[in-house]
Chain A
């Protein structure tokens, strides 16, 4: 076995989830029929509970365009997309020297909360609607347009982020 490129591109949690979905992974009982191995299902089960499950490609693209003005490192943008911090307190550990780099962290937080849909059981703000935490219950995404759309390429592999 030869390693040609240890890092042929980073993937957000959403991209991995999308790939697994295109292979046929789903939450319901069609599991045995799909071409997905149990170890891949464990990854799917983890990702479906994070913020990635409600995201779309358009959300992420637009978000990374809009946060260019904050001059964040690629790793920080990736972390924010994966974790979807809903308050300033969530941003501080992700962004190094946050207080020095931004005068107004709230602006970044607002961008995150407006551009990226919330994960299934996260309340929108600190005192917001508390969702009952029941197993397997997914709350509806915020608006119809934010539902994950079926990929037009079907199951074909997509280009990675960088070669």
Chain B
């Protein structure tokens, strides 16, 4: 789920921070720049792991602040294809499920990748929402958000920033994980176990 990535970045440190130790200031600036942001192809940045080198500190002409070139490592959240992850249900509608990890919410399971046979029961109160039910061995298992869902990662996509968005569109997601619910036998026992626990 997590990888280390080594990056190099050149940035300017505001003069107001120059009284603090250099390493602390650099780390703070890196955290402001990268934490909780998605870098294309690398994933979601979770934390600054360490700083390998800080070079520079030159003040360019007509600028009042030093510029540093820093090599550092970031902890990136980037699941690999085929990884099994446990997540909670966030939304359930006719196009599929949306899951959440707490720190990452754009995990989608489209209808085509559900175990067969599954059926959708629309909610009479809210249009578009509803619950999914999976039948196995004659028993229906309802995906109701109480138990965790284990899924296998199918693909990760990094859509590019749209220039314009229609008014009702969901907030833009720079990183989307699409998944398959795992093999029937597994999901069955997983749901059985959780039902037993409850």
Instruction: Name A residues whose Cβ lies closer than 8 Å to a Cβ of B.
Output: 1-13, 15-16, 19-20, 23, 37, 39-40, 42-43, 45-46, 50, 75, 79, 82-83, 87, 89-90, 92-94, 96, 121, 123, 126, 130-131, 133, 157, 160
Using CB atoms, name the residue of chain B closest to A132: B197
CB-defined contacts of A43 to chain B, threshold 8 Å: 46-47, 77, 102-103
Task: Determine the chain A residues whose CB is within 8 A of the CB of B186 once the complex forms.
Answer: 89-90, 92-93
Q: Is the CB of B7 within 8 A of A2?
A: yes
Chain B residues with CB under 8 Å of chain A are 1-9, 31, 35-36, 39, 41-42, 46-47, 49-50, 71, 73, 75, 77, 80, 82-84, 86, 101-103, 150, 152, 182-183, 185-186, 189-190, 193, 196-198
Known contacts A6-B5, A133-B198; 17 additional CB pairs below 8 A are A3-B6, A4-B7, A8-B5, A9-B3, A10-B2, A10-B4, A16-B46, A19-B47, A23-B47, A37-B36, A39-B35, A43-B103, A75-B83, A89-B190, A96-B82, A130-B197, A157-B50
A126-B193 contact given A10-B3, A43-B103, A94-B84, CB 8 Å threshold: yes
> Is A19 within 8 A of B49, CB to CB?
yes
Q: When chains A and B are docked, how far (Å) is the Cα of A42 from the Cα of B88?
A: 14
Judge whether A8 and B6 touch: CB under 8 Å: yes
Partner of A2, one of B1, B8, B82, B102: B8
Q: Which of chain A's residues have a CB closer than 8 A to the CB of B9?
A: 1-2
Residue of B nearest to A1 (CB): B9
What chain A residues lie within 8 Å of B41 (beta carbons)? Answer: 6
